[in-house]
Chains A and B, each alone.
Chain A
Amino acid sequence: MKTEDERLADSFLKAQIKEIPDEGFSRKVMRRIPNRANRYNRWWQIFCTAVFVILFTLLNGFGVAWQLLKHGYEMPHAISFTPHTLMLTAALVAVGCWHLYQETKA
C-alpha cells in the first residue's frame, strides 16, 4: 500500500519521463569502439604484407636473396643496388617498421 508521499513523488517523476532521441549518439559511440580501430589496423597490416609479397615476387626477390646468400658474404662489393633491389629493401623496411609500431602499441 502506497503512502500519500509515495503517490505524489511517483506521479511527479513518471510525468517527467521523456524519450531521448538517438540523434547520432550511437554513431559517435561506434566511432570510439577500440576493437574497430584495431580491425582497421589489421586490414592495413594485411595490405602492407600483400604489397610486400607482390613486390618480392615481381622484383625477383628470391633470386636477389639467393645471390646475396651465395656471393654477398664473400664479395659484398659485387652486389649492385639496382632500383629493384632498393624498392625491395624499402618495402621490407616499411613492413618491418609497421610490425614494430604495432608491437610497441600493444
Chain B
Amino acid sequence: MFKLNQLDDLTLWTKIVVGHDDRAFEKLIQKYQGDVRRFFLHQTLGDEMLSDDLAQETFIKVYTHIGSFRNLANFKTWLYRIAYNVFYDHTRSQKTAVDLDSAEVMSQTSVQRDTTISTDIYQALQQLSPPERTCVTLNVMEDLPTAKIAVVTGMPEGTVKSHISRGKTKLANYLRKNGYEDRR
C-alpha cells in the first residue's frame, strides 16, 4: 500500500519520466536535498564543499537513470543507494583511500567544516569505521531499517546489524568519556 509521501514521489516520477517535466525534477531535489546532503556530511565528517559536490553528482545520476527506476515504493532507498555508490566511487578514486574500511581516510583529508552544525557530531562519528558510520547514521539519523540499509550498501543484513551494534557501543563509550551523559 502506498503512503502519501510515496504517492507524491510517484506523481513527480510520472511527470519527470512521462512528461519530461524539469520543474518536477527540481521539486524532487528540493524534497530530498536535505537528506542526501546530510548523508554526505556525515560520511565526509562535515566537509561541506565535498558533500555538496557529491550530492550534485547523486542527483545528476538520479536524473539520467530515473527512467530505469521501477520500484516506486522504495524511491528513498534507491536514492540512498545511488548516494552510497557515489561516495564509494569517490573514496576509491582518492589515492589515499585504499580501502573503505580504513578509518583514517577522512581524518587525513583537510576539510572545510560545516560550521552551522556542531562539530561534536563529527568528532563522535570519527570514532567509527566508514561502514559503521554509514550504517549507524542511515539507521538513526535517516530512519532506515536494517533491511533497507542492506539494500543501500549491498551488505548482508546481519553485517549491517553488527556494524550498527558495534558503532553504537563505540559511540556510547566515546560520549561517556567526554561527559555527554552528564550533560543530558
In the complex with contacts A13-B136, A29-B60, A8-B30 CB distance below 8 A: no
Q: How far is the CB of B37 from chain A (nearest CB, A)?
A: 5
Q: Does more than half of chain A's interface fall in helix, strand or loop, or is it mixed?
A: helix
Contact segment of A33-41, A62-70, A71-79: A33-41
Q: How far is the CA of A29 from the CA of B55 in the complex (A)?
A: 9
Residues of B within 8 Å of A9, CB to CB, are: 136, 140, 167-169, 171-172, 175
B157 at the interface (CB under 8 A from A): no
Q: Does more than half of chain B's interface fall in helix, strand or loop, or is it mixed?
A: helix
Can you report 17 residue pairs joining A to B where beta carbons are below 8 Å apart?
Answer: A4-B172, A8-B175, A9-B140, A9-B167, A9-B171, A9-B175, A12-B180, A14-B141, A16-B118, A16-B120, A19-B34, A25-B33, A25-B56, A30-B29, A33-B25, A35-B64, A36-B22
Add 7 more A-B contacts to A16-B121, A33-B63 (CB < 8 A). Answer: A9-B169, A13-B140, A20-B33, A21-B34, A25-B52, A26-B29, A27-B26
